[in-house]
């Protein structure tokens, strides 16, 4: 078991954004976390990544309790987070952004160099723009950059928050093709998405969140076939 989230609760002041969520992501598994805006998906992801401290519940990695760890420790434990805000460092070059992604393993220079070459091979657009500042990239290129940057830490679990948000359909295709390729390498992925069709196509299993709780869960194929799914995730 790569990741186990048990009875997770996140509160912002008096607002209970996440109300007792259980999620499991197995080794090499791609799990989608679906739901409407405000269902608590991003909060769940941020709590796993250590960016916000959970109010209650447990987060375990390979059985080890990592609840409430600081974000830098989670990266070292093998968890990489790609937030929906697509936070490139705008005044750093693409190359510098990638170099920072490898911060936790900056001493294996040869390996980092090899990984960067691999990322440039995977995302040729980034290679062309290696010396440009990240702020000058298009939205799709920035999304590729944050995914590539997260991969530079050689994570075992990738947390992806809405990678298709606000991107043109052709770019969305490319991003999901990329996710499938990363999944094929044996990486565990927890994917938050509003694009349900695409997410279920790439995922092994899925959870549907509604008002801070898990409303449905199951194999991606079964959920895709369920007629009432749209009502669930659209918050109907």
Partner 1 sequence: MTAAIQFVIDVLSLGGAYALMALGLVIVYGILRLVNFAYGELIMAAGYTLYLVSASPLPWLVMAVLAVGAAVVTGIATDYVAFRPVRAKSVTAVLITSFAFSTLLQNAAQLLISPRPRSIPLPEVFSDTVTLFGVVTPARNLITIAAAAVLLSLFTLAMRRTVLGIAMRAAATHFTMARMLGVPANLVISTAFAISGLLAGTVALLWLGRIGTVVPRVGLEPLLIAFIATVIGGMRSLEGAVLGGFLLAFIDTALNYSLPQDLLKFRDAFTFSLVILILLWRPAGLVRGPATGQRT
| Binding footprint of partner 1 on the chain (CB under 8 A) | 49-51, 70-72, 74-76, 80-81, 83, 87, 89-92, 96-97, 99-101, 103-104, 106, 135, 149-150, 153
Helix (H) or strand (E) holding 41: helix 41-49
The nearest distance, CB 121 to partner 1, in angstroms, is 21
Q: How far apart are CA 6 and CA 1, in angstroms?
A: 13
The nearest distance, CB 207 to partner 1, in angstroms, is 22
The nearest distance, CB 76 to partner 1, in angstroms, is 6
The nearest distance, CB 51 to partner 1, in angstroms, is 6
CB nearer to partner 1: give 115 or 232.
115
Collapse the DSSP code of 119 into the 3-class scheme (helix H, G, I; strand E, B; otherwise coil) and give the result. Answer: helix
The nearest distance, CB 91 to partner 1, in angstroms, is 5
Contact 198, 172 (CB under 8 A): yes
Collapse the DSSP code of 44 into the 3-class scheme (helix H, G, I; strand E, B; otherwise coil) and give the result. Answer: helix
CB nearer to partner 1: give 148 or 182.
148
Torsion of CA 210, 215, 220, 223, to 10 degrees: -100
| Nearest partner of 165 among 197, 139, 136, 200, judged by Cα | 139
Query: Cβ contacts of residue 4 below 8 Å, gap of 6+?
Result: 23, 24, 58, 59, 60, 63
Output the CA torsion sign for 182, 184, 189, 193: positive
CB nearer to partner 1: give 16 or 76.
76
CB nearer to partner 1: give 58 or 99.
99
CB nearer to partner 1: give 102 or 172.
102
CB nearer to partner 1: give 75 or 187.
75
For residue 13, what are its two tokens? 């002041």
The nearest distance, CB 141 to partner 1, in angstroms, is 16
Give, rounded to a whole angstrom, the gap between the first and last alpha carbons of the chain. Answer: 33
């Amino acid at each position: 078991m790569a990741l186990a989230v048990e009875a997770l609760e996140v509160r912002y002041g008096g607002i209970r954004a996440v109300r007792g969520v259980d999620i499991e992501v197995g080794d090499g598994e791609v799990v989608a976390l679906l739901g409407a805006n405000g269902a608590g998906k991003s909060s769940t992801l941020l709590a796993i990544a250590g960016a916000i401290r959970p109010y209650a519940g447990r987060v375990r990695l390979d059985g080890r309790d990592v609840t409430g760890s600081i974000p830098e420790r989670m990266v070292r434990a093998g968890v990489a987070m790609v937030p929906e805000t697509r936070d490139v460092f705008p005044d750093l070059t693409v190359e510098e952004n990638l170099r920072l992604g490898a911060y936790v393993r900056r001493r294996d220079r040869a390996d980092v160099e090899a990984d960067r070459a691999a990322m440039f091979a995977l995302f040729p657009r980034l290679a062309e723009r290696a010396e440009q500042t990240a702020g000058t990239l298009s939205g799709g290129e920035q999304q590729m950059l944050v995914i590539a940057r997260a991969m530079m830490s050689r994570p075992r679990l990738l947390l992806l928050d809405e990678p298709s948000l606000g991107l043109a359909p052709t770019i969305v295709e490319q991003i999901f093709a990329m996710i499938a390729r990363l999944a094929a390498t044996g990486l565990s992925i927890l994917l938050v998405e509003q694009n349900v069709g695409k997410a279920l196509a790439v995922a092994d299993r899925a959870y549907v969140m509604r008002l801070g709780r898990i409303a449905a869960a199951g194999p991606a194929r079964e959920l895709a076939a369920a007629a009432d799914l749209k009502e669930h995730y659209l918050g109907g």
